[in-house]
A = this chain, B = another copy of it.
Amino acid sequence: MSLLVVGSVALDSVETPTDKRDNVLGGSAVFFSYAASYFTDVRLVGVVGEDWPSEHTELLKKQKIDVSGLQVIPGAKTFRWRGKYQPNMNDRETLEIHLNVFEKFDPQIPASYQDCQFLFLANGTPTLQMHVLEQLPNAKLVVADTMDLWINIQNDELKALMKRLDGLVLNDSEAKLLTGDENLVRAGHKVREMGPKFVVIKKGEHGAMFFSKDETYVMPAYPTPDVIDPTGAGDSFAGGMMGYLASKKEATPQTLKEALAYGTIVASYNVEDFSLERMKQIGRPELESRMKDYRRMLSF
């Protein structure tokens, strides 16, 4: 079943303690759609400037991602982000951010996308996310991401959006900020009580937690020793999760748990190189192989 993602498309410059890359392919909708494409058809809505290398579009098309919703704005520049990771590879500092075309991004959902039943609202203001949601009244499962900035400056808009979501995905620090509760188990349920039917708290190298009315559980991250660049880990996690759910055509307690596990596995590959380099090297067989190992790891 087709999955639609609306979010940022970017050129990232990343510094890690041992290496760096400049102006490589990035953005929440890019990591998400590539990760989801292992499982299902994906349609992308985003915006870039005329500096956007066409090879990036070709890469997404090659993965059968429908990019007819990718607007190219003449005479303008693509969203750029520059960040630096601390030695722990978990904390990062934003060195530069140029929103460029993303600042006035007004997502228009192509008519050909109207039948999408699975919708992911990636990085963007809650106002923009609501605007997208309203263009897709037939969506069956709507999940959004959010970030500390919107919790701080668009809190009312975020809370209004949350009442209309099936699921919300956010970081541990964001869940604490949103609820004022330092205990993640309590924070997860408090977020859920704000509207979403389920909440996923991403804990980076420590995995993810799931909260619904009837369930609370934790999925550890897959323990890879090769963490090269964590950029996009949260988006590739969400992409794997939503891609798997769309492939199963429904979100039941069972498919949701499997989806979180697939998201975990895709993210574990994503962090093993810069940009989409590692994800480009793998396919469903590599995901299934690591999933088998992950299942064995959690069995006793």
Contacts and interface: CB of A to CB of B under 8 A. Distances in A.
A224 to B, nearest CB: 7
What is the copy number of this chain in the assembly? 2
Interface stretch (A110-118, A160-168, A205-213, A276-284): A205-213
Nearest to A223: B185
A207 B88 CA distance: 18
Nearest to A216: B223
Interface string A164-202: 000000000000000000111110010000000000000
A51 B157 CA distance: 60
Interface of A: 87-89, 182-186, 189, 203, 205-207, 209, 216-221, 223-225, 227, 254, 257-258, 261, 295, 297-300
Contact of A185 (B183, B225, B261): B225
B182 A88 contact: yes
B225 A183 contact: yes
Contact of A183 (B89, B209, B220): B89
A222 to B, nearest CB: 8
Contacts of A209: 223
Nearest to A90: B182
A294 to B, nearest CB: 9
Contacts of A223: 184-185, 209, 216-218
A300 B153 CA distance: 38
A203 to B, nearest CB: 7
A87 B185 contact: no
Contacts of A298: 217, 298-299
Given A216-B223, A218-B221, A225-B189, A182 B297 contact: no
Nearest to A259: B300
Residue of A183, A209, A219, A224 contacting most chain B CB atoms (<10 Å): A183
Contacts of A183: 89, 225, 227
